[in-house]
Homo-oligomer: A and B are copies of this chain.
Amino acid sequence: MPRKALLVILDGAGDRANRELDYKTPLQYARTPNLDSLARKSMVGLMDPIAPGIRAGSDTSHLNILGYDPYKVYTGRGPFEAAGLDMELEPGDIAFRCNFATVDDNLVVKDRRAGRIKEGTHELAQALNGLKIEDVEFFVKEGVEHRAALVMRGPGLIPFVSDVDPHGTGLKIHDAMPLKEEAEKTARLLNLFVRKSYEILKEHPVNKEREKEGLLPANILLPRGAGMAPHMEKFSAKYRMKGACVVGTPLIRGICKMAGIEPIDFPGATGSYDTDMKGKFRHAVEALKTHDFVLVNIKAPDIAGHDMLPKKKVEVMERIDEAVGYLLKILPEDVALIITADHSTPCTVGDHSGDPVPILVYASDSRREGTEFNEIACARGSLRIKGSDIMSIVLNITNRAEKFGA
């Protein structure tokens, strides 16, 4: 009988030896009885999200884990951010992350976040959305606070252009530069659009109102992170499983959307320290009633790694373990459960590293070989895989794999 599968990604959970933790990793140091007891009923091992030593981003890792070769589909995070804001993308579209920002008359940045504007960005985005320059259409959608995404659609566009965002205040906005000769058109039209955004936004009633209230106007759109929307075979066609995801960050949400994996949104999935982990698991178990495969991403360990706070990361892991205990109570029997990370974010580094991450693969008949769930104990197990192997392993443990041969 084919099983359903729940894949839990503990974002950035892998780590290195931290002196503050007696040279243990946070996962080693943390008290995680539920994860450990699960490991004892599971196949365990280590995974290189991309390949040994390769420092994966969360985006490239999630793509690889879901079976989409990031070296083929990933040119920048723009398209996935745009998809994460529910923009409809077509293969070949060029997309950017953007900030609504404040510039002066000389286009010098006064505030990259327009005073962390909270309201009115929908109207501002609408004022730019659908503009056409030459044969290229521009689509804009607002995100949370000052964040937005921009999509360019038209012939002859490629994503190899530099950022308009100068990444600092007191600096004039940059002209997007073509990084390849064929990107001249993309860069030229993007620069025209950015200037046009200033002409339109500086006169917009939302900004006039803000200025009246003494707030910084959101008078320009600053794009960065260009990427081309790839063709991605639908997850359901690739694996014959209907997929859902419960993730808090727009980037991962966008990757899932581009793959045809349905996002289950709920207010507690914040993608931060205070994320409602049990709520995520509850929604995931609910989604398993109507879907064959559910991906959950828990962002908190990554944040602790970026913040270089090993003790905080230990605390996060213990909170995750408690939520896993809750999950094990509500998870239907005979769902396969895979727990791993998308990359390591060592507290000693404060950023992603290329160290492998632990993985466990549980089903009612999985080989029982683990002892504890951490980087050191899992290395004794049978799995020594790459991110790109996970979906084959999911299809195998759910008894859904096609036999190759007789």
Contact = CB atoms under 8 A, between A and B. Distances in A.
Interface of A: 16-19, 23-25, 41, 43, 46, 50-61, 70, 74, 77, 225, 251, 346, 348-349, 351-356, 365-369, 375-376, 379-385, 389, 391-397, 399, 401-406
Contact of A356 (B19, B70, B382): B382
A320 B58 CA distance: 42
27 contacts: A16-B366, A16-B367, A17-B365, A18-B365, A23-B41, A23-B368, A24-B368, A43-B355, A53-B394, A53-B395, A55-B401, A55-B402, A55-B403, A55-B404, A57-B404, A57-B406, A70-B405, A77-B405, A352-B403, A353-B396, A353-B399, A354-B392, A354-B393, A355-B367, A355-B396, A369-B376, A379-B381
A372 B54 CA distance: 26
Contacts of A19: 365
A376 B18 CA distance: 27
A333 to B, nearest CB: 12
Given A365-B18, A382-B46, A393 B77 contact: no
B392 A382 contact: no
A73 to B, nearest CB: 11
Given A381-B379, A396-B353, A396-B354, A405 B17 contact: no
Given A55-B396, A376-B382, 13 more contacts: A17-B41, A52-B392, A53-B389, A53-B393, A57-B406, A58-B406, A77-B405, A348-B365, A349-B399, A354-B392, A354-B395, A369-B379, A379-B380
Contact of A406 (B46, B77, B383): B77
A383 B53 CA distance: 10
Contacts of A401: 53-55, 353-354
A74 B404 CA distance: 9
Contacts of A352: 403
Contacts of A375: 367, 369, 382
Contacts of A381: 379
Given A367-B17, A396-B353, A56 B405 contact: yes
Contacts of A60: 404-405
